Structure 1
């Protein structure tokens, strides 16, 4: 596991833990909750940035086009 993936995983776990901890208290600290959510979203964004899009693949067609001869 490389450092980037480990950092993403740590951000997601720590951000989620902070958000749950801030939400579970009787008197919620909004700033801690926002910080946890930001850290969670940052980790998810960095993870999703490395996933390739299914539309990026160039599919080869079985039909080849030919240039028309000019008359």
Structure 2
């Protein structure tokens, strides 16, 4: 694993844990919850940037065209 993936994974896990902890308390800490959610989404965004789009590849058609023979 390269550093970028490790940083993304740490952001996702740590952000999720912080958000879960902030929500689990008796009195919700709104700023802690927002910080955890922001960190979680930051890690998800950085991860999704590296996933290629399915529209980058040329479309493959199942219909094959036949060349007409010139007579």
**Alpha-carbon RMSD:** 1.4
1:23 is aligned to 23
What is the number of residues matched between the two proteins?
63
Q: Note the C-alpha offset of 1:59.
A: 3.9
2:69 is aligned to none
The alignment status of 1:37 with 2:66, answered yes or no, reads no
Q: How does 1:1-71 map to 2 (within 5 A)?
A: 1-59=1-59
Q: Note the C-alpha offset of 1:60.
A: 6.3
Structure 1, unaligned runs of 5 or more: 64-71
Aligned equivalents of 1:18 and 1:30: distance in 2?
11
Aligned equivalents of 2:2 and 2:33: distance in 1?
29
Runs of 4+ in 1 over 6 A off after TM superposition: none
Aligned equivalents of 2:33 and 2:44: distance in 1?
17
Q: Note the C-alpha offset of 1:12.
A: 0.1
Aligned equivalents of 2:59 and 2:24: distance in 1?
50
